[in-house]
């Protein structure tokens, strides 16, 4: 069972703490709003990702499980 980061764009206020805590997974755009990498969060980054989730001042970030047994969604 693996996880990835998920953002609620309405709740996000662009504080940018997530990019400080897991720059491997979050990059800020030119206006300071996070752009997430779609990749699964590897075990080494999981504690950092959890901290980013719990530190977000607007509770906009969460970790969601990606089910390996489900076919990838078409874009």
Partner 1 sequence: MTAATRLTAGWRSSGRPAGLDEHLDRYGPLPDRARPGALARAVTEAGLTGRGGAGFPTGTKLQAVGARRGPAVVVANGMEGEPASEKDHALLSRAPHLVLDGAVLAAEDVRAEVVHVCLPRTKPGLADVVREAVADRQRARRDGVPVEVHELPHYYVSSEETSLVRWLNGGEARPLGGRERPFERGVRRRPTLVDNVETLAHLALIARFGPAWFRQAGRPEAPGTMLATVSGAVDRPGVYEIEVGTPVADVLAWSRVREPAGAVLIGGYFGTWHDLADVAAAGMSAPQLRRAGASPGAGVLIALPEGACGLSETARVLGYLAGQSAGQCGPCAFGLPAIADDFAQLAQARASGAVLERLDRRLGALPGRGACRHPDGAVRLAASALTAFAPDVHAHARHRPCFAARRFDARGETSSPAILPVPAAAPDEQWAEGGWS
Residues that bind partner 1 (CB under 8 A): 8-14, 29-33, 35
Separation of first and last alpha carbons in the chain: 22
Question: Whole-number minimum distance, CB 10 to partner 1, in Å?
Answer: 3
Minimum distance of partner 1 from residue 2's CB (angstroms): 19
C-alpha distances in Å from residue 9, one per residue of 53, 59, 61, 72:
14, 11, 9, 22
Q: How far apart are CA 70 and CA 55, in angstroms?
A: 30
The residue among 23 and 32 lying less far from partner 1, judged by its C-beta, is 32
- Our CB check for partner 1 shows the closer of 10 and 43 to be 10
């Amino acid at each position: 069972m693996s996880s990835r980061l998920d953002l609620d764009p309405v709740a996000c206020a662009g504080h940018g703490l997530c990019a400080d805590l897991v720059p491997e997974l979050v990059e800020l755009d030119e206006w300071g709003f996070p752009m997430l990498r779609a990749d699964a969060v590897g075990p080494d980054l999981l504690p950092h990702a959890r901290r980013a989730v719990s530190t977000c001042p607007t509770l906009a970030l969460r970790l969601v499980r990606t089910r390996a047994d489900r076919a990838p969604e078409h874009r």
